Structure 1
Amino acid sequence: MANHLETSQSLYLRKHALNPINWWYWCDEALEIAKQENKPIFLSIGYSSCHWCTVMEGEAFSDAAIALYLNENFLPIKVDREERPDLDSIYMQALQMMTGQGGWPLNIFLNPEDLIPFYGGTYFSVEPKYGRPGFLDILQAIRRFYDHEPEKLMAFKTEIYNNLQQSALLPINQADILTQDLLHQGIDSNTGVLQPNDFGRPCFPMIPYATIALQGSRLKQEYTYNPQALSQQRGLDLVTGGIYDHVGGGFHRYTVDNTWTVPHFEKMLYDNGQIVEYLADLWRKGSRQPAIKQAIQGTVEWLQREMTHPQGYFYAAQDADNFTTPESFEPEEGAFYVWSYQELESILSEKELAQLQQEFDVTVAGNFERKNVLQRLGDGELSADLDQALAKLFTVRYGKPATAIDIFPPAKNNQEAKNQQWLGRIPPVTDTKAIAAWNSLMISGLVKAYSVFQEPSYLDLATKAVEFILQNQWVEGRFQRLNYDGVATVAAQSEDYALFIKALLDLHSACPDDPQWLEQAIKIQEEFDELLWSLEIGGYYNNSTDAAKELLVRERSYMDNATPAANGIAIANLVRLALLTDDLEYRDHAQQGLQAFSSVMATSPTACPSLFSALDWFLYGTSVKSSREILDQLNSHYLPTTVLRIATDLPEDAIALVCQSTSCLEPAFTIDQVLEQLKSVY
Structure 2
Amino acid sequence: MVRLPGAFAVCAWAAVIAADRFSLRGAAMPITTEVNYQLAMPPLTMPNRLAQAQSLYLRKHAENPIDWWPWCEEVLTTARKDQRLIFLSVGYSSCHWCTVMEGEAFSDPEIADYLNTYFFPIKVDREERPDLDSIYMQALQMMTGQGGWPMNLFLSPENLVPFYGGTYFPLEPRYGRPGFLQVLEAVRRYYNQEHGKVRSLQTELLDHLQQAVQLQPLQQLPANLLQTGVEQNTGVIAAAGVGPCFPMMPYANLALQGTVYWDSREQAYRVCAQRGQDLALGGIYDHVGGGFHRYTVDATWTVPHFEKMLYDNGQIMEFFANLWSAGVKEPALERAIAGTVQWLKREMRSPQGYFYAAQDADSFIQATAPEPEEGAFYVWDYRDLERLLQEKELANLQAAFTVTPQGNFEGQNVLQRRHLGLLSDEVEAAIAQLFAQRYGTLPNGIETFPPALDNQAARSHPWPGRIPPVTDPKMIVAWNSLIISGLARAATVWQQPNYLQLATDAAQFILDHQWQGGGYTASIMMVPPRSWPRRKTMPC
Tell me the TM-score normalised to structure 2 length: 0.88
Counterpart secondary structure, 2:173: coil
Structure 1 residue 49: deviation in Å?
0.5
CA distance in 1, matches of 2:534, 2:160: 33
2:530 counterpart of 1:489: no
CA distance in 2, matches of 1:430, 1:166: 39
How do 1:438-449 residues align onto structure 2 when only pairs under 5 Å count?
A: 438-449=479-490
CA distance in 1, matches of 2:264, 2:463: 56
CA distance in 1, matches of 2:176, 2:302: 30
Structure 1 residue 341: deviation in Å?
1.4
Letter in 2 for 1:391: A
Letter in 2 for 1:185: T
Counterpart secondary structure, 2:385: helix
Letter in 2 for 1:271: D
Counterpart secondary structure, 2:190: helix
2:375 corresponds in structure 1 to: 334
1:221 corresponds in structure 2 to: 263
Structure-2 change in CA distance of 1:475 and 1:39 (3 Å): farther
2:234 counterpart of 1:191: yes
Which of 95, 111, 123 is residue 140 of structure 2 equivalent to? 95
Q: Deviations over 1:21-64 (max 9, x none)?
A: 11110111111011011011110000000010001001111111
**Are the counterparts in 2 of residues 474 and 488 from structure 1 also a CA contact under 8 Å?**
no
2:456 corresponds in structure 1 to: 415
2:25 corresponds in structure 1 to: none
CA distance in 1, matches of 2:188, 2:51: 28
Structure 1 residue 478: deviation in Å?
4.4
2:360 corresponds in structure 1 to: 319
CA distance in 2, matches of 1:393, 1:134: 40
1:467 corresponds in structure 2 to: 508
Structure 1 residue 131: deviation in Å?
4.1
2:223 counterpart of 1:175: no
2:48 counterpart of 1:3: yes
Q: Deviations over 1:580-620 (max 9, x none)?
A: xxxxxxxxxxxxxxxxxxxxxxxxxxxxxxxxxxxxxxxxx
CA distance in 1, matches of 2:537, 2:440: 36
Q: Deviations over 1:446-499 (max 9, x none)?
A: 0000111111110100000001011111467642112222233336xxxxxxxx
CA distance in 2, matches of 1:489, 1:107: 28
1:379 corresponds in structure 2 to: 420
Structure label with greater radius of gyration: 1
Which of 484, 498, 501 is residue 457 of structure 1 equivalent to? 498
Letter in 1 for 2:319: Y
How do 1:522-601 residues align onto structure 2 when only pairs under 5 Å count?
A: 547=540
1:275 corresponds in structure 2 to: 316
Counterpart secondary structure, 1:226: helix
Which of 416, 430, 433 is residue 389 of structure 1 equivalent to? 430
Q: Deviations over 1:328-384 (max 9, x none)?
A: 111111111111111112212222211111111111111111111110011211111
Q: Deviations over 1:383-403 (max 9, x none)?
A: 111111111110110001111
**Are the counterparts in 2 of residues 2 and 18 from structure 1 also a CA contact under 8 Å?**
yes
CA distance in 1, matches of 2:197, 2:157: 16
Structure 1 residue 172: deviation in Å?
3.3
**Are the counterparts in 1 of residues 280 and 336 from structure 2 also a CA contact under 8 Å?**
yes
How do 1:73-472 residues align onto structure 2 when only pairs under 5 Å count?
A: 73-177=118-222, 179=223, 181-199=224-242, 201-222=243-264, 226-472=267-513
Structure 1 residue 221: deviation in Å?
2.4
Structure 1 residue 216: deviation in Å?
1.3
Letter in 1 for 2:534: G
2:58 counterpart of 1:16: no
**Are the counterparts in 2 of residues 50 and 266 from structure 1 also a CA contact under 8 Å?**
yes
Q: Deviations over 1:169-199 (max 9, x none)?
A: 131323244x4x0011111111111124324
Letter in 1 for 2:154: F
Counterpart secondary structure, 2:132: helix
CA distance in 2, matches of 1:130, 1:272: 32
1:70 corresponds in structure 2 to: 115
| Higher RCO (CA 8 Å, separation ≥ 6 residues) | 2
Counterpart secondary structure, 1:79: strand
CA distance in 2, matches of 1:271, 1:327: 32
CA distance in 2, matches of 1:478, 1:246: 37
Counterpart secondary structure, 1:373: coil
Aligned residue pairs, count: 488
CA distance in 1, matches of 2:292, 2:264: 33
1:610 corresponds in structure 2 to: none
**Are the counterparts in 2 of residues 475 and 488 from structure 1 also a CA contact under 8 Å?**
no
**Are the counterparts in 1 of residues 314 and 482 from structure 2 also a CA contact under 8 Å?**
yes
Counterpart secondary structure, 2:522: strand
CA distance in 2, matches of 1:324, 1:378: 31
Structure 1 residue 210: deviation in Å?
0.7
2:7 corresponds in structure 1 to: none
CA distance in 2, matches of 1:247, 1:447: 24
**Are the counterparts in 1 of residues 364 and 371 from structure 2 also a CA contact under 8 Å?**
yes
Letter in 2 for 1:165: Q
2:14 corresponds in structure 1 to: none
CA distance in 2, matches of 1:113, 1:41: 10
CA distance in 2, matches of 1:194, 1:48: 28
Structure-2 change in CA distance of 1:132 and 1:453 (3 Å): closer
**Are the counterparts in 2 of residues 253 and 263 from structure 1 also a CA contact under 8 Å?**
yes
Farther off after superposition, 448-457 or 476-485: 476-485
**Are the counterparts in 2 of residues 251 and 272 from structure 1 also a CA contact under 8 Å?**
yes
Counterpart secondary structure, 2:116: helix
CA distance in 1, matches of 2:302, 2:176: 30
Structure-2 change in CA distance of 1:211 and 1:478 (3 Å): closer
**Are the counterparts in 2 of residues 184 and 221 from structure 1 also a CA contact under 8 Å?**
no
**Are the counterparts in 1 of residues 314 and 483 from structure 2 also a CA contact under 8 Å?**
yes
Counterpart secondary structure, 1:487: coil
**Are the counterparts in 1 of residues 380 and 413 from structure 2 also a CA contact under 8 Å?**
yes
Letter in 2 for 1:94: A
Counterpart secondary structure, 1:462: helix
CA distance in 2, matches of 1:170, 1:18: 45
Structure 1 residue 18: deviation in Å?
1.2
Structure 1 residue 20: deviation in Å?
0.9
CA distance in 2, matches of 1:378, 1:368: 20
CA distance in 2, matches of 1:120, 1:297: 42
In the alignment, structure 1 segments of 5+ residues that lack a partner are 492-546, 548-682
Counterpart secondary structure, 1:489: coil
Structure-2 change in CA distance of 1:249 and 1:130 (3 Å): closer
2:521 corresponds in structure 1 to: 479
CA distance in 2, matches of 1:161, 1:167: 10
Structure 1 residue 243: deviation in Å?
0.5
RMSD of aligned Cα (Å): 1.4
Q: Deviations over 1:131-173 (max 9, x none)?
A: 4332112111111222222211110110011111111113132
CA distance in 1, matches of 2:393, 2:179: 50
CA distance in 2, matches of 1:361, 1:388: 17
